[in-house]
Structures are given as C-alpha cells and as structure tokens.
Amino acid sequence: MKLDIAVLPGDGIGPEVIGESVKLLEALGQRCGHRIVFNYADFGGISIDKHGEALTDAALEMCRGCGAVLMGAVGGPKWDDPKASARPEDGLLKIRKSLGLYANLRPVKVFPMLLGASPLRRELLEGVDFVVVRELTGGLYFGRPKRRWQTARGWRGVDTLLYTEKEIERILRVGFELARQRGKRLTSVDKANILESSRLWRQMAADMAPQYPDVELRHILVDACAMRLIQRPAEFDVIVTENMFGDILTDEASVLTGSMGMLPSASLSGVPQEGSTAFGLYEPIHGSAPDIAGQGVANPLATILSVAMMLRHSFGLGEEAVATEAAVMRVLESGYRTRDITSPGQKELSTREMGAAVVGAI
C-alpha cells in the first residue's frame, strides 16, 4: 500500500520527535511492504521566519493532498511577543479549521510501569483509561469578535465563545459514538451555571441521549471535572467538551500518565469507525518545549503513539498500529526511559536511543 503523509516538524523539540517517528514509519514500511512518501513543509515559527506566516497556503494544499498529516509542535520564546502580527499557533488554528478537523481525540491511558512517574498515588491511577473528545474548531479559539482596541479609558480585549447548534451536535455525536464503542459512559463537560453556550450544549446533549439508550450520559461542570480528574480519574470513559475546556483538562490529564511526553492525539473530521478510514492530523499533545529543544532528551513516545493512531484511523492499518503500540509497551517494560519519565536508578535514554529502541522492539 502507498501512504502519502504530510510531515510538519515545526519548532523546538518538534523536529526531534518527528525524526524518530519517521524512522519508525520507514522501518514499518519496509517490514510490511508499504511505500511511504513523506512530504515535508515548514510550519510554525520556522515558517514565519522563512515565509512571513505560520502555514502558507501552498503547505496547506500539500497537506490536503495527503492521506494524513503528522505534526510535531509549534512555538517558542522567539515568536512570543504579544505585539507580533504573526504567531506560530496561527498555523495550527489554520490547519485545524481549514481541514475541518473538529474532533480532537486525546486518549489518556496510564502505563502500569509508569505509575511511579506520576505525582499521584498509585491506587488512584490504576485502571485509568479514558478519551477526551475535545471540540477543536469553535469556541473561544475562533469566535468573533476577537480583538484588542484602545479606548479613552484604556485598552480592551475581547474573545467570543460562540457555538452553533451544528457544531455542538456533531461533536456530541462523536462523544456518544465513541462511548458506544468503549465503556458506554459519556461525561459531557460544560459551565452551564454561567455560560449560555454551555446551556445550549447541555440541553442538546440531554436531547440526544435517547438516541443512545445504551450510553449513560452525565453532565459535569468544568471546575468540578478538573477536581474529579485528580480525585477519581478511573471513573471516566469518554469525556466530551468544548475547545478551551478540553485544552486545559487534557494538560491536567497528562499528569496522570506521568508525562505529557506520553500522550498522542488525533484530529478528525468525523466519528472514527472501525473498518473505514478518514483524513486526520496527528500530533503529540505536548508543546515545543523550548527549554529542552536541541538537547536530544525529548520523549518521542507521544509522537510515535500518534503515528499508531494515524495508521489505524487514516490508513486502516490496524495491525501495524497494534504492533507500534506493543513495541512502546515492550520498551517501557524493558525499563527504557527518557528524562521526563525516569525514576531513580533507571538508565536515561536520549530521544534517538528511545526511537531506536522502539524500532528494535517492533
């Protein structure tokens, strides 16, 4: 089979973790007889420096022509000036919105051998296995007006939390369908005690529930959810929530697994179905980590696990996906660790060594 993959390494540790994922894909391709074509483009800060914008239209069109996009990370102190007209993150928002990737799946599953790497007590973490379905193309990230302006009484800034019925319906549907495929428990997260958009969301979730009698729907306020994620994380199965809440809750959830360096994500334009494939964008949930960029110590596993999601959802290569995930498990079982997940007495591997260990374990 031929796999056309757009590769956007981006900034900071992005190129390092992407490098290991590409090596893994090459090894898999050889092993399984797939021809993989990697199409690279500049993305994020590096693209601003070279082309004046975080993602050029040409790069976007290149991505659109591929079967999937594999992305590293964007941003860094060099491009952090709040007065700058172009920001690396704009590229991320542009690609998500232009390609209609409204459903962001962020699986949070603790690895038994990493229980000690989390600051939480072991007994709280056992059995944690849930997916956050984060709405990705609406809400505060995109609502208009969105601007800063000067008045006689000083500066003002506004962002708009806007959701249409259609946007809420389709993301809730992804939540219900995924819950149906998994443990049949859906938690819808909102702030319905304060926000109108959340009241619409909650109402729509309740209205859809009768279509999914096999799924148990719960509503929870986002602040309570933040607390519950730490108190009783094993209770969750599928969480569905709006863009900004999902952004915040998934950083929090990553602490459960011991490191952000372990969490993959997929951004899709529909419900992932077994037996059918769809275009998607795959990226680790961590950022560009400028503090460790270029040192060769970043954890490539989140990106490698994102590759597994890509093989499964965009190319229908379930066996290769399972092989990749199993290789990651085997490497962890063998005690291999990058700096972010090392416990005292364990040998620390570089990014490259970890990548090579996974390739070796396939």
For Mg ion, the binding residues (CB under 5 A) are 247
Q: Is 191 a catalytic residue?
A: yes
Q: How far is the CB of 349 from Mg ion (least distance, A)?
A: 26
Q: How far is the CB of 247 from Mg ion (least distance, A)?
A: 4
Q: Footprint of ligand IPM on this chain (CB under 6 A)? A: 75, 89, 92, 247, 285, 287
Q: How far is the CB of 241 from Mg ion (least distance, A)?
A: 13
Active-site annotation holder among 42, 190, 247, 340: 247
Cβ proximity to Mg ion, 247 vs 320, nearer residue: 247
Q: Which does 76 bind (CB under 5 to 8 A by kind): ligand IPM, Mg ion, none?
A: none
For Mg ion, which residue has the nearest CB? 247
Q: How far is the CB of 73 from ligand IPM (least distance, A)?
A: 7
Is 55 within 8 Å of 64 (Cβ atoms)?
no
Active-site annotation holder among 49, 129, 159, 251: 251
Q: How far is the CB of 168 from ligand IPM (least distance, A)?
A: 19
CA distances to 283, 329, 335 from 341, in Å = 19, 14, 10
Record the tokens describing residue 153, joined without a space. Answer: 């009484």
Cβ proximity to Mg ion, 89 vs 129, nearer residue: 89
Cβ proximity to Mg ion, 190 vs 283, nearer residue: 283
Q: Is 282 a catalytic residue?
A: no
- 111, 113, 110, 17: which is closest to 343 by C-alpha? 113
Rounded CA gap, 359 and 152, in Å? 62
Q: Is 83 a catalytic residue?
A: no
Sign of CA dihedral 159, 96, 202, 193: negative
For ligand IPM, which residue has the nearest CB? 89
Active-site annotation holder among 57, 80, 223, 291: 223
Q: Which does 340 bind (CB under 5 to 8 A by kind): ligand IPM, Mg ion, none?
A: none
Q: Which does 253 bind (CB under 5 to 8 A by kind): ligand IPM, Mg ion, none?
A: none
Q: Is 223 a catalytic residue?
A: yes
Q: How far is the CB of 270 from ligand IPM (least distance, A)?
A: 19
Q: Is 49 a catalytic residue?
A: no
Q: Which does 92 bind (CB under 5 to 8 A by kind): Mg ion, ligand IPM, none?
A: ligand IPM
Cβ proximity to ligand IPM, 253 vs 317, nearer residue: 253
Active-site annotation holder among 11, 190, 191, 212: 191
Active-site annotation holder among 11, 42, 102, 141: 141
**Active site residue ranges:** 141, 191, 223, 247, 251
